[in-house]
């Protein structure tokens, strides 16, 4: 690594460290540490929301999946903007901000707990976050670490250790103020890098029309010949196995949607598009961002910033991921998966192989920004889930040391997430799979109770517990015993019943969200109308 690269990376880390220190200096109480003082600038809030949302899971994980399954993933980009920004900011943002302020809530589980007048709801929410979020954090760690290891040509485990230590330092020190200030910087770096990525990708392929022409030719030359060979001939999870699998799933090109209601269509629409696109509404680390601004006006000003950021960050990497097939076909006669050796390696390899070397440094900083911004928010959310939402509810005396308990929770969650990143690194497409699982789980478990907290006064404590329990149990049942990918990988159905999935046919390609979310809503409704409503005095305090 040259002196310029070294200085640029040190400067970036220095600025990030300074922002963490600035957050530390500005943190005077628990509201500062947990909610950044409730007076965040709309630009900082929007960039923090976007940078937290768009992680290495989106760039490395889903960018690699776009190299495999093509531009059908652009439906996810549309869903991210329409649901994750427009609906979230316009319809949910201000009611969340007002409810959090009225109830003096500092975390997402605390918001639900105080709305439903139940420490049990807060405790249950905190435990669910602490249980499931490490899987998503591990996915983000894997994505960032792969790029660090590829860029510096160092061992994956060494890169994982260094990466984790840097993030730990500024999350624990600066609280949410430090996290959001760093997010704004990191989001800006990501935005510039993505714009340049689109330009350089088309430039490397001779322009827009030649790029898509080469993409079609690469499919015909490297994928269609596999159709004549049975799937069993290929090594499991090898690049050719995955491409032959896409043919069996109804894909006919990287610039086309798979056949309607085919296995591939169900996977792209129910798992990738809806699972992630709807799941964003109930992400604890994102919901809390709405509670950091002081008025509805700031939220309205943040909408165009967030929308443009998501469009650039998500759509461009999906286009670049699919077009990497054209570049490798022209230069090596292979598709991207064959050249890179796997889904998770496509984007890091493509940046290093196809684009200018100086851009590799910028993209490296962008990818580190994506990982650090998401991980810092995840670790902060998990730390508060362990500290404020769990331990403080079980041991009320620990409230006297709230910040210390939360920091200890952050450290514990980091250790668990790093361990998972170490264990699951070799799983194929683990980054995208883990992200989709976590987003769908959040939707099934939290979304009905969250929406009812904002808009339905008749919702009760019993309904909320029923909804969360049904959402969690149905999701876990479907993931472990039915859904084609996870059920086979976990092997529980195989051990108990001798089959990869207890069901058969196309239903096993339907994501758990499609089954669990309606049941979770129904459980909330039924549990609420069958139980005693809240007193008017409590509802007046909330609304």
Residue range 202-247, pLDDT digits in tens:
999 999 999 999 999 999 999 999 999 998 899 888 999 999 999 9
Contacts of 228 (CB under 8 A, 6+ apart): none
Task: Look at residue 284 in the predicted model and tell me its pLDDT.
Answer: 86
Domain ranges of the chain: 3-433
CA distances from residue 339 to 143, 225, 263, 342, 350 in whole angstroms, order as listed: 18, 17, 26, 8, 9
Task: Look at residue 277 in the predicted model and tell me its pLDDT.
Answer: 86
431/471 Cα distance (integer angstroms) = 23
Q: Which of these, 332, 205, 273, 311, lies nearest to 66 by C-alpha position?
A: 273
162 φ/ψ angles, rounded to the nearest 5 degrees = -65, -45
The answer to whether 354 and 175 have CB atoms below 8 angstroms apart is: no
Task: Look at residue 200 in the predicted model and tell me its pLDDT.
Answer: 92
Q: Is 108 exposed, middle or buried (0-12, 13-18, 19+ CB in 10 A)?
A: buried
Task: Look at residue 534 in the predicted model and tell me its pLDDT.
Answer: 94
484/311 Cα distance (integer angstroms) = 30
Task: Look at residue 11 in the predicted model and tell me its pLDDT.
Answer: 78
First to last CA, the chain: 58
What is the DSSP code string of 347-371? Answer: HHHHHHHHS-HHHHHHHHHHHHHHH
| Tens of pLDDT, residues 448-492 | 999 999 999 999 999 999 999 999 999 999 999 999 888 888 889
Task: Look at residue 242 in the predicted model and tell me its pLDDT.
Answer: 92
Task: Look at residue 255 in the predicted model and tell me its pLDDT.
Answer: 92
C-beta neighbour count of 507 within 10 angstroms: 14
What is the fold of 3-433? Answer: Sodium/glucose cotransporter (1.20.1730)
The answer to whether 150 and 341 have CB atoms below 8 angstroms apart is: no
pLDDT tens for the chain, 543 residues: list them: 567 767 777 777 777 767 666 666 665 555 545 444 455 666 776 666 776 666 666 787 888 999 999 999 999 888 888 888 888 888 998 899 899 889 988 889 999 999 999 999 999 888 888 888 888 888 778 877 877 777 777 788 888 887 777 777 656 654 555 566 666 777 788 888 889 999 999 999 999 999 999 999 999 999 999 999 998 899 888 999 999 999 999 999 999 999 999 999 999 999 989 988 898 899 887 888 788 777 677 777 777 877 888 888 888 999 999 999 999 999 999 999 999 988 888 988 898 898 888 887 888 777 777 777 677 777 778 888 888 788 888 877 766 666 677 777 778 888 888 888 887 766 655 666 777 888 889 999 999 999 999 999 999 999 999 999 999 999 999 999 999 888 888 889 999 999 999 999 999 999 999 999 999 999 999 999 999 999 999 999 988
271/137 Cα distance (integer angstroms) = 19
Task: Look at residue 181 in the predicted model and tell me its pLDDT.
Answer: 67
CA distances from residue 36 to 24, 166, 201, 440 in whole angstroms, order as listed: 11, 21, 38, 28
Q: Token pair for residue 541?
A: 């305090």
């Amino acid at each position: 690594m040259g002196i310029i690269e070294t200085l640029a990376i040190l400067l970036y880390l220095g600025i990030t460290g300074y922002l963490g220190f600035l957050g530390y200096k500005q943190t005077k109480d628990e509201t500062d540490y947990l909610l950044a003082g409730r007076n965040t600038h709309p630009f900082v809030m929007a960039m923090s929301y976007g940078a937290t949302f768009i992680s290495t899971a989106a760039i490395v994980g889903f960018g690699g999946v776009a190299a495999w399954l093509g531009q059908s993933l652009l439906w996810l980009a549309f869903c991210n903007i329409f649901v994750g920004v427009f609906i979230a900011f316009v319809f949910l943002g201000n009611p969340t901000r007002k409810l959090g302020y009225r109830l003096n809530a500092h975390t997402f589980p605390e918001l639900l707990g105080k709305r439903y007048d139940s420490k049990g709801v807060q405790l249950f929410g905190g435990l669910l976050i602490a249980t499931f979020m490490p899987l998503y954090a591990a996915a983000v760690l894997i994505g960032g670490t792969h790029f660090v290891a590829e860029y510096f040509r160092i061992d994956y485990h060494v890169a994982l250790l260094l990466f984790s230590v840097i993030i730990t330092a500024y999350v624990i020190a600066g609280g949410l103020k430090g996290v959001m200030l760093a997010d704004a910087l990191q989001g800006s770096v990501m935005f510039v890098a993505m714009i340049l990525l689109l330009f350089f990708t088309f430039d490397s392929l001779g322009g827009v029309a030649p790029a898509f022409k080469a993409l079609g030719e690469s499919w015909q030359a490297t994928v269609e010949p596999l159709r004549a060979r049975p799937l069993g001939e290929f090594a499991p999870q090898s690049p050719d196995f995955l491409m032959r699998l896409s043919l069996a799933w109804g894909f006919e090109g990287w610039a086309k949607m798979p056949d309607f209601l085919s296995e591939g269509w169900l996977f792209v629409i129910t798992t990738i598009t809806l699972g992630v696109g709807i799941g964003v509404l109930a992400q604890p680390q994102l919901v809390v961002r709405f509670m950091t601004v002081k008025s509805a006006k700031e939220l309205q000003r943040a909408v165009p910033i967030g929308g443009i950021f998501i469009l650039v960050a998500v759509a461009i990497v999906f286009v670049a991921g699919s077009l990497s097939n054209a570049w490798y076909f022209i230069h090596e006669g292979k598709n991207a998966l064959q050249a890179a050796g796997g889904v998770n390696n496509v984007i890091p390899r493509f940046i290093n192989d196809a684009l200018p070397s100086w851009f590799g440094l910028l993209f490296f900083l962008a990818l580190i920004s994506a990982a650090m911004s998401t991980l810092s928010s995840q670790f902060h959310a998990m730390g508060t889930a362990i500290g404020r939402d769990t331990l403080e509810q079980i041991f009320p005396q620990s409230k006297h040391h709230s910040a210390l308990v939360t920091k200890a929770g952050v450290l514990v969650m980091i250790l668990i997430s790093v361990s998972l990143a170490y264990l699951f690194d070799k799983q194929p497409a683990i980054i995208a799979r883990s992200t989709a699982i976590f987003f769908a789980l959040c939707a099934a478990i939290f979304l009905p109770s969250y929406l009812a907290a904002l808009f339905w006064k008749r919702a009760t404590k019993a309904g909320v517990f029923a909804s969360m329990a049904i959402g969690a149990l149905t999701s876990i049942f479907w993931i472990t015993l039915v859904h084609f990918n996870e059920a086979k990988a976990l092997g529980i159905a195989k051990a108990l019943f001798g089959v990869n999935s207890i069901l058969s046919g196309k239903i096993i390609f339907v994501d758990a969200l499609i089954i669990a979310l309606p049941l979770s809503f129904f459980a909330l409704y039924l549990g609420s109308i069958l139980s005693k409503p809240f007193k008017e005095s409590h509802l007046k305090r909330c609304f």
